[in-house]
Amino acid sequence: MEVIREKADMRAWSRRMRRDGKSLALVPTMGYLHEGHLSLAREARAHADVIVVSVYVNPGQFAPSEDLSTYPSDFQGDLRKLSQTGVVQALFCPRNLYDYDTPGPLSVPPRHRLSAGSGEEQAPVSCLEKERGGGTHETWVRVERLEKGMCGASRPVFFRGVATVVTKLFHIVEPDVAIFGKKDYQQWRIISRMVRDLDFAIEIIGSEIVREADGLAMSSRNVRLSPRDRKQALSINKALSEAKVHISKGSVSSQEIKDRIIQTVSDAGGRIDYVEIVEQESLEPVEKIEYLVVICIAAWFGDVRLIDNIEIDVPAV
């Protein structure tokens, strides 16, 4: 497995693979890899000849108040785990995806520093913009409707940053296929829509959620849960599983199902960010569960925010 750090080297490696007639799959990650990430790499092997895993904690998707500085990392551990899978040919771990070899940061007067693409002054910006004065990177990719609800409501810079960094990775790696985990359901749908709308010649595949033995969805942030908070966090999967059972028995009111989930998680000690029941592809909220939907939740346990979801593939009526 090759370790590649420079953008130009990554592009050259990918093009060399293509000249050899090989297809490429990309698995984008932020590192601190767990079995969920490794399952994405194994899934990728079924769709391409060579697999590239990227590890990059993207400052463009974190607001200054969020956990960029405390996001866990273990590069040597990541390297070991990827090597042990036996399916990954390259690890792309760029030092800085926003380094354009310019002489220095541009100076942007505060009055011209805009929000996350909204055109409004003094609104939230990402860590990237705050750290660099807002001038070194000025181009952002947005999927405007899909980014507004759920995680986008409480994290206004998040999906703009995700769409932009994924676009950059697509241009650098030039994959035929990219694998995204369905745990980040809204992200998966946003990237799928972006690829469709911008005519990327890339197949986007959503891979199923991987859970711990006790049902907790695997996440790099789980390591930050205290034993007490981790036990409480099991209420998320419990609430989602119970919701699926209620729907299978004929419950079709979204509000009723949402109230049940909120009650279960809150009683366990979680603080709800949101619970939404939306159509699987459009992510439009539904009042009645009469076709394919996904139930999405975000909740805080201590100072750790967790997300999870469950697809409802069998109509209730």
Residues 251 and 193 grouped into a single domain: no
Residues 133 and 277 grouped into a single domain: no
> pLDDT tens-digit profile of 39-83?
999 999 999 999 999 999 999 999 999 999 999 999 999 999 999
pLDDT at 28 over 80: yes
Return the structure tokens found at 169.
């990775």
103 pLDDT band (50/70/90 cuts)?
low
Q: What is the domain-level CATH number for residue 40?
A: 3.40.50.620
pTM for the model:
0.92
* pLDDT > 70: percent of the chain: 90
AA letter at 73: S
Residues 151 and 235 grouped into a single domain: no
> Which of these three, 207, 230, 250, is where a domain ends?
207
Q: What is the pLDDT of residue 133?
A: 59
Handedness of CA 90, 93, 97, 100 (dihedral sign): negative
pLDDT at 145 over 50: yes
> pLDDT tens-digit profile of 225-279?
999 999 999 999 999 999 999 999 999 999 999 999 999 999 999 999 999 999 9
β-sheet bridge partners, residue 309: 296
Q: What is the pLDDT of residue 153?
A: 96
> pLDDT tens-digit profile of 118-139?
444 456 689 998 876 555 788 9
pLDDT mean over 297-316: 91
Task: Confirm whether 214 is domain-assigned.
Answer: no
Return the structure tokens found at 148.
């507004």
pLDDT at 221 over 70: yes
Rounded distance, CA 233 to CA 225, Å?
9
Residues 288 and 178 grouped into a single domain: no
Residues 49 and 94 grouped into a single domain: yes
> Helix (H) and strand (E) counts for the chain?
9, 9
Residues 175 and 271 grouped into a single domain: no
- H or E segment to which residue 162 belongs: helix 158-173
Mean pLDDT score of the chain: 93
pLDDT mean over 206-220: 97
DSSP label of 214: T
> Which of these three, 180, 207, 234, is where a domain ends?
207
Task: Confirm whether 254 is domain-assigned.
Answer: yes
Residues 95 and 7 grouped into a single domain: yes
Determine which one of 37, 47, 137, 246 is catalytic. 37
Q: What is the domain-level CATH number for residue 226?
A: 3.30.1300.10
β-sheet bridge partners, residue 179: 205
CA angle 10–147–236, rounded 5-degree value: 95
Residues 93 and 180 grouped into a single domain: yes
CA angle 179–184–188, rounded 5-degree value: 50
**Total domains present in the chain:** 2
Q: What is the pLDDT of residue 168?
A: 99
Task: Confirm whether 212 is domain-assigned.
Answer: no
pLDDT at 208 over 80: yes
Q: What are phi and psi for residue 6, nearest 5 degrees? A: -100, 145
Residues 102 and 232 grouped into a single domain: no
E strand residue ranges, the chain: 2-4, 24-29, 50-55, 90-92, 177-181, 203-207, 271-279, 293-301, 304-312
Residues 159 and 11 grouped into a single domain: yes
Residues 203 and 57 grouped into a single domain: yes
> Which of these three, 148, 173, 207, is where a domain ends?
207
Residues 194 and 235 grouped into a single domain: no
Q: What is the pLDDT of residue 102?
A: 63
Q: What is the pLDDT of residue 123?
A: 61
Residue 171 known to be catalytic: no
Domain extent for 162:
2-207
